[in-house]
Structure 1
Amino acid sequence: MILTITISIKKRIIKKRNIIKKVRKIIVGIRYSQENKRNFDIQVKALEINNPRLPQLDQKTRWSSTANMLKDFLHVWQAIKIVISLSTTKSFEKNKEILILKDSEIAYLEKCLKIFNIFIKPTIKLQAEKYSTIYYLLPEVYKLYTRLEGLKEEINDLNFTDAINRGLIKLRKYYPKTGNINENNKSLYLALILDPRIKQEGLEVIGLSRNQAFEIYNRLKEVYNIFKVDFALANPPIEEAQSLALEDSDDDSDIYI
């Protein structure tokens, strides 16, 4: 779902301008020319750029690759600009005026990156292999609503507003922002309500002491484990299942490592 929305927004943005095509051409011109690559290393050292990476081309099959490409490209842009201006290779010599991006084009790429970055964490979180992800879905969906609508106001650019609106339309198609619980979505709400790992922070936010919150948290965890075990017994899998009980060591933070 998030991948579909990302692709929808990305296509809309890229169709509007050909700046990202220029970025790809520049990357190819450096990566596949020994002279340009050598000059790139020299300029990175001269400018003392921290943690430089020679950008890699994005790939259709990798959902975050365009964001990674733009992040690396913008970080070393000053070095790349000098490489293009000094280059005598066929890749750059005849197209220097076109390939040395204007400040307005760099600003456009920075806006693109802001939008693409919104989708990275939720996509990682919802693709986790170690834990079930159903109880994350609704919170992450509502975060997307908030972040996309906030970014639309922050960027205030018709090209980007149109792309973000298209993404929001797709998001509403999958998960309406408001509406009643029904057969299609009730399992999502049930998972959210029953999952105790989401509770502890919320209990503290409403003013309970840490000890009170911890006691309620432990009770919720007991109920949750009973529910999951009962469900497993009533619906035995074909293969032998691992323990469904939550352990104290269970922590979803490792999905970001």
Structure 2
Amino acid sequence: MKTTLNAKNALVCKGEFFNVRCYAHILNLIVQDGIKLIDASIQKVLDSIKFVKSSQARKLKFQECCERLTLNTNRGLHGDVTTRWNSTFQMLSDALYYWPAFDTLEFSEQSYTLSPTEDDWEKIEKILKLLEPFYEVTKVLSSSKYPTSNLYFHTMVLIYLTLNDGSFLDEFMIDMIHAMRAKFNKYWEKYSLVLSVAVILDPRYKLSVLRWAFNEIHHGKTNLMNEEIDRVKSALERLYGEYKSMPKDQGFSSTARVGDVSARYAQDYLSFCIQDNDVVTNGKSKLEQYLEEPPKTWVAEYNVLAYWKSNQSILEVKSEPIP
């Protein structure tokens, strides 16, 4: 498809930004690869939950243990769904909460011989600490009812830093983290550029978020941080140049060119910049002016699409309605 579209000159930057994988799906694959390599501690938790749920009598026995320890029985024990890694996180989190109840059940129910040891529970705590950022990111991306392209870069950096945090390198987790890191790095290397461009076009962040991110990733090495920022700026300028070179009668509708930078507001902003022959002020284009202006005051609830629609309306730029 990419070859065919390039032959028709239908892709921006020869399709460099044409294919963007589903981030939520990638997160699921990353964690699934890691979970496969976790040691026997998780299996003990799975077996314990199955034991409690295997009969009504055992459920009541477990409930009695919880009540004796004043644990909230409404929270419940959730099973594991193999196709949804976050169900594993929820299962482990619930089981950890009921740790004292499982210990009590071991003494009151002779047939229960599967109780995880204290060492097992401590391993579960460490695993949950590693997986928590993945869980929070998955919730943000799956529950939102608004465009999220400008949120991906922040969450990618969070996952990157988590997987490279040396505090997680316990011996029993090393293989798990290496597997997760290898899967994530494939995604990072291919898509960090396009998602960096997307976050620049959020006026609350611009280049400041890249400076923070690459400074953290490269441990304060200014030369490496600047190289990364220059690479992203170069990509943005290439996109800008492509839109600028379009014939005026071609317009900027999504049907005219395929393969935007994944965020619809990127198209709206670039068309805003380039209208009226890219008006230059003090020798600087609209793009350069935007990047040099300070970021807008940060607010949690911010409609980026509305911001760029408002800006483009100033110059009466015509585009398709935003769904």
Normalised to the residue count of structure 1, the TM-score between the two structures is 0.68
- Deviation per CA, 1:106-137: give whole Å up to 9, x if none: 11222222222220111222334411121111
Structure 1 gaps, min length 5? 177-181, 206-211, 243-257
What SS does the corresponding residue of 1:12 show, helix, strand or coil? coil
How far did 1:2 drift?
A: 1.3
Equivalent residue for 2:88, pick from 66, 70, 84:
66
Counterpart mapping for 1:1-257 below 5 A:
1-13=26-38, 17-50=39-72, 53-88=75-110, 93=111, 96=113, 99-150=114-165, 153-176=166-189, 186-198=193-205, 224-226=308-310, 233-234=318-319, 236=320, 241-242=322-323
Q: CA deviation at 1:21?
A: 2.0
Distance verdict in 2 for CA 1:222–1:122, change over 3 Å: closer
Distance of 2:128 and 2:182 partners within structure 1? 21
Checking the alignment, whether the CA contact within 8 Å between 2:133 and 2:158 is kept in structure 1 is no
In the alignment, is the contact (CA less than 8 A) between 2:66 and 2:101 conserved in 1? Answer: yes
Contact kept in structure 2, 1:52 and 1:76, CA below 8 Å: no
Deviation at 1:223, TM superposition (A): 6.0
TM-score (normalizing by structure 2): 0.56
Q: Distance in 2 between matches of 1:161 and 1:130?
A: 37
The 1:145/1:122 distance shift into structure 2, 3 A limit, reads same
CA contact (8 A) 2:67 2:73 kept: no
Q: Please give the per-residue CA displacement for 1:162-197, whole angstroms capped at 9, x wherever unaligned.
A: 211221121111113xxxxx9x66542332111135
* Structure 1 CA distance for aligned equivalents of residues 295 and 183 of structure 2: 38
Per the TM alignment, residue 241 of structure 1 is displaced from its structure 2 partner at its CA by 4.8
Which 5+ residue runs of structure 2 have no aligned equivalent? 1-25, 213-293
Deviation at 1:68, TM superposition (A): 0.6
Number of equivalenced pairs: 209
Q: CA RMSD in A?
A: 3.4
Seen in structure 2, the aligned counterparts of structure 1 residues 185 and 29 have a Cα distance that, compared at 3 Å, is closer
Which amino acid counterpart does residue 34 of structure 2 have in structure 1? I
- Answer yes or no: is the 8 Å Cα contact 1:195–1:224 preserved in 2: no
Deviations 1:69-118 (A, max 9, x none): 11111111111222232225xxxx1x62xx12221111122222222222
Query: Matched residue of 1:196: which SS?
Result: coil
Structure 2 Cα separation of the partners of residues 130 and 5 of structure 1? 24
The CA distance in 1 between the partners of 2:297 and 2:163, in whole Å, is 37
Give the structure with higher Rg (CA). Answer: 2
Partner SS for 2:85: coil
- Aligned identity (percent) is 25
AA aligned opposite 1:133: T
Give the superposition deviation at 1:198: 4.4
Contact 1:135 1:191 in 2 (8 A): yes
Q: Quote the Cα distance in structure 1 between the aligned partners of 2:167 and 2:121.
A: 17
In 2, Cα distance between equivalents of 1:168 and 1:40: 38
